[in-house]
Amino acid sequence: MSCLKSTAIAVAVVCSAAISTAYAQSAPSPHQMVVPNDLKWTSVPSLPCGSQLALIEGPMNEAKPFTFRLKFPANCKIPPHYHPAIEHVTVISGALHMGTGDTIDTAKGMLVPTGGVAIMQPQVHHYAWTTEETIAQVHGIGPWGLTYVNPADDPSKKTN
């Protein structure tokens, strides 16, 4: 093999390695890890009581996987509503009381404690309330949305 040919092969190998390394650094990571201090909480105008949301994975408005956390203060009531897609809710801390129907009826609700899971099918009318600060993680396949059974209950439509 000639010296020129050997040099060309060596340069090709080095360039391939450099390109692969550069691509690996710019390509999205196949793993995403989030610790609680990384969460960025924002207000949620469509939820009452000053509830907050921290998006972990999204986008929520497309037919793609989403994951977010909701933080509800104590004594918060979320009026009857429904979602266009299945919603999986895991209580991370506190407790979430939930029920189904078109009106809040705390006597017919169920307690979902820390570690508990609730799964709501699309279009099922349900409501929730808290008695202590509660953080819940929600995941599913979007688009995610929230429609109140009674449009007057939508806090994003209320004027102060």
143 contacts 86 by C-beta, under 8 angstroms? no
104 contacts 49 by C-beta, under 8 angstroms? no
pTM for this entry: 0.79
Our CA angle for 101, 102, 104, nearest 5°, is: 80
Could you report the per-residue pLDDT of 92-138, keeping only the tens digit for each? 999 999 999 999 999 999 999 999 999 999 999 999 999 999 999 99
Q: How far apart are CA 82 and CA 102, in angstroms?
A: 10
Please give the structure tokens belonging to residue 136.
């819940």
- Residue with the bigger pLDDT between 33 and 97: it is 97
The answer as to whether 12 is a domain residue is no
CATH code of the domain in which 84 resides: 2.60.120.10
The answer as to whether 152 is a domain residue is yes
The answer as to whether 17 is a domain residue is no
The answer as to whether 11 is a domain residue is no
The answer as to whether 21 is a domain residue is no
Residue 23: φ, ψ to 5°? -65, -45
Mean pLDDT for 74-90 is 97
The pLDDT confidence band at residue 32, using thresholds 50, 70 and 90, is confident
Query: Which residue matches tokens 């391939």?
Result: 16
Domains contained in the chain, number: 1
Q: Which domain holds residue 121?
A: 36-157
pLDDT at 29: 67
The answer as to whether 68 is a domain residue is yes
The answer as to whether 76 is a domain residue is yes
The answer as to whether 54 is a domain residue is yes
